[in-house]
A and B are shown apart, each in its own frame.
Chain A
């Protein structure tokens, strides 16, 4: 998946597992940017008796680089604490939860938001309530209202939400990791099989989202709201991470943490650690910062999947098979941003420093008719210009890896005909997304949703 359980160590620590990051100009509030960082992948909605929650012992961070040096200029930190009203019951709730302060809600989470920038650390909000998980019609009869009440407008101008959501990411995971089976032409695979429709693996699973909507002027280096697409000042780099204390002590039921925060998960571009970085380096990638991504650039220049496709699909990708050159197109998309002059009227270049960040050009307004294929679909407001919740990141990256974007740096190269039909062939169901903050849809409820 984008970054769900993508590395050996973090796959064992779901509470800290950063699965996706999205950054886009808010379509209904275009003077703001919305950033969504998701954690805790693959939640079966029937999660009782201990429903999913953020880690009280995890530091969740969203980073923004506004001067192209791959170092955070602005960080939003989120810390959670769990409150148990009645430890004498095994129940998450002892009756319907009608509001965020309901006495019947036995175990709830509150959180703080801290902004760190050149002025220092500022606590923007504390005691903010996360909504309960969506349990079912008896326990959470009006979930939309509960979730709506958990959208907090802070006095500083930011709006935040932290809680369970329908996972916006969609992928045919079973196919991808069954030796890169691409269902449109699985009959052409080295190990062929009959054609079957694509499967949306995450269609009925939830995730936990941390979403923040920030006025653009609070993110740019000079406090401006950019209008010049070609100006370097118009581009932000965005990524997210999770960290744990260096030492964790367990003594019977008691647990304590000590020492500095140590990063255990991070994410900028979707699928970077998942399909670009090899197994032996995945844990290290999660532990280091974008400023250190020089070490991983070789995997972008010569991606393993681009070598595998011609082998797995004999005769289907002949031009890709003959492409024996560094993939400068992928380096631009994933590590530097796309410089001006390559795609007419567009750039999201942050400079030569190689770093995995989502890069968002703030001067590009939200699309009136967005394409889930983003830039490949002619929509410069979508991935890899930032990333919206509905962008088809898997199809975009599969096509790019298969050679679709190589002509951007070498116009003499012709992508294989098959590249244009490489697709997830998935259309997320209604309700997967919302038109307003936090844009990811309401979570599936545990009573009504069958097990995946």
Chain B
């Protein structure tokens, strides 16, 4: 996992999980397009990609997929996730996207 780049990780995971992350918007387009709510989400895949905000103040987001895990500092992504999680977010720290 240490050699896995963020771009390749997302590319690989995205093949299997599609819209699992940030409402289906490509990460590169973060901030450029508003995500849309999905009324009837697709069935849960066997191995979902999970992204969670580990530390909102430090802008740390952890991506988990398969047996791999990687944590990035990505203020733009964290800001965007928090914006869309805001109505549902509780307490300090992180949340799960």
Contacts and interface: CB of A to CB of B under 8 A. Distances in A.
A258 interface: yes
B7 to A, nearest CB: 24
A258 B96 CA distance: 6
A247 B53 CA distance: 13
Contacts of B95: 258
Interface string A66-82: 00000000000000000
A325 interface: no
Nearest to B96: A258
A367 B16 CA distance: 61
A430 interface: no
A252 interface: no
Interface in B36-52: 50, 52
Nearest to B90: A258
Interface residues of B, number: 4
Interface in A324-366: none
A259 interface: yes
Q: In terms of DSSP, what is the predominant structure of the interface of chain A? A: strand
A194 interface: no
Contacts of A249: 52, 96
B65 to A, nearest CB: 14
A247 B51 CA distance: 11
Contacts of A259: 96
Interface in B58-92: none
A227 B83 CA distance: 55
A259 B52 CA distance: 11
Nearest to A247: B96
Among B50, B52, B95, B96, residue most surrounded by chain A Cβ atoms (within 10 Å): B96
Among A249, A258, A259, residue most surrounded by chain B Cβ atoms (within 10 Å): A258
Contacts of B50: 247
Contacts of A258: 52, 95-96
Interface in A225-276: 247, 249, 258-259
A258 B94 CA distance: 9
Contacts of A247: 50, 52, 96
Contacts of B52: 247, 249, 258
Interface in B3-56: 50, 52
A259 B51 CA distance: 13
Nearest to B53: A258
A247 B62 CA distance: 14
A21 to B, nearest CB: 29
B28 to A, nearest CB: 26
A337 to B, nearest CB: 34
Interface of A: 247, 249, 258-259
5 smallest beta-carbon distances between A and B, as pairs: A258-B96, A247-B96, A259-B96, A258-B95, A249-B52
9 contacts: A247-B50, A247-B52, A247-B96, A249-B52, A249-B96, A258-B52, A258-B95, A258-B96, A259-B96
Given A247-B52, A249-B96, A258-B52, 6 more contacts: A247-B50, A247-B96, A249-B52, A258-B95, A258-B96, A259-B96
